Amino acid sequence: MSCAICNTRKEKRFCPAVHGRICPQCCGEQREITLDCPSECPYLQQAREHEKARPLDQIDPAALFLSVEVSDRFMYEHEHLLMGLSYALAKAARADHGINDRDLLAGVSAQASSYQRLVESGLVYEQALTSTSHQRVVGELETMVKEYREAEKKHVGYSSLRDSEVLKALVFLLRLGYGRTSGRAKSRAFVDFLFAQFPAEAAVVSPEEAGSRIILP
């Protein structure tokens, strides 16, 4: 029988994205580009094992907010903030199964841009997002920051979290995401990385453990 995609080459493997059998060439060429590959696909998992992370110097510098310095000390001192924001991204992706890496990165980038403008000029300006997926990501991030500040007030009487610190945390996650994703249009490698850190059925872990798993994957 012929491949369900090209209808030319011989089929050799089952593709859960098309619910049919396809050839290895179409699998490799269309994976996460035209095909919505489910995370449990063994061929996708095998490809990720052999796929090298994209060097950050191959990514548009403007997308990485290179003017924002994120030191190792910052990551150590704000691991709970990083953990919370990471959890917010995982929560957004679980609520909308259509969200992929590009959606997460777009949402984080929009928030980082807003906080950068706030830090540098004091202006509060939110980008108009037409995508419901991007809106969901931004909404979860905003909710998490609000809850983080409320928790600080409850425990110490005031919130010490600065906007500049939120900006740095967002930029860290943005760079982490770009390093994790394959860059393909439908990639969910970063999404799956976050799911691995925060399994839906996982037992409760300490903040220190969860934070370390995010910072040192």
The string of pLDDT tens digits covering residues 102-125 is 999 999 999 999 999 999 887 776
Residues 127 and 75 reside in one and the same domain: yes
Question: DSSP of 96-137, one letter per residue?
Answer: -TT--HHHHHHHHHHHHHHHHHHHHH----------HHHHHH
Tokens of 14: 């089952």
Looking at this protein, which amino acid is placed at residue 54?
R
Residue 175 structural domain: 55-215
Q: Is the pLDDT of residue 205 over 80?
A: no
Residues 71 and 97 reside in one and the same domain: yes
**Entry pTM:** 0.86
Residues 69 and 27 reside in one and the same domain: no
Residues 136 and 189 reside in one and the same domain: yes
Residues 113 and 182 reside in one and the same domain: yes
Residue corresponding to tokens 């590959």: 37
- Region 3-15: mean pLDDT is 96
Per-residue pLDDT, 52: 76
Q: How many domains, the chain?
A: 2
Contacts of 6 (CB under 8 A, 6+ apart): 22, 23, 25, 26
Query: What band does 156 get if pLDDT is binned at 50, 70 and 90?
Result: confident
Residues 65 and 29 reside in one and the same domain: no
